[in-house]
Amino acid sequence: MEIGQLYQLVLLLVMVGMILGVGIVVLANFMGATGVTGTAAAAPINATINALAPIATTWLSLIVTVSVLAIILTLVIRSFSGGGRK
């Protein structure tokens, strides 16, 4: 992976985070706007919100950390092996 191609990875991670965030906000607003807070329909909506929340808080930050470390490790290995020369 070249340094010039890193923007694609960054854009992908930002887009996934935005989709998760917007999905949770839409579900919460849908539940509030339709007045299903006390009915049986609120349970599946809350279950979906509770299932998506750990992805945004735990897994996304872990994926970003591992990606950054992999990029740094790749750049260091390429610099010592001579693969970075053209």
Tell me if 11 is assigned to some domain. Answer: yes
Tokens of 6: 């890193």
- What domain range is 73 assigned to? 3-81
Tell me if 86 is assigned to some domain. Answer: no
Range in 4-8, 26-30, 43-47 with the lowest mean pLDDT: 4-8
Residue 23 clears pLDDT 60, i.e. is over it: yes
Q: Give 78's contacts (C-beta < 8 A, 6+ positions apart).
A: 84
Number of structural domains in the chain: 1
Give the pLDDT score at 22. 87
Tell me if 66 is assigned to some domain. Answer: yes
Looking at the chain, which runs of residues are DSSP E strands?
none
What confidence tier does 20 reach under pLDDT thresholds 50, 70, 90?
confident
What are the pLDDT digits (tens) for 44-78?
888 888 888 888 778 878 888 888 888 888 888 88
Give the pLDDT score at 2. 66
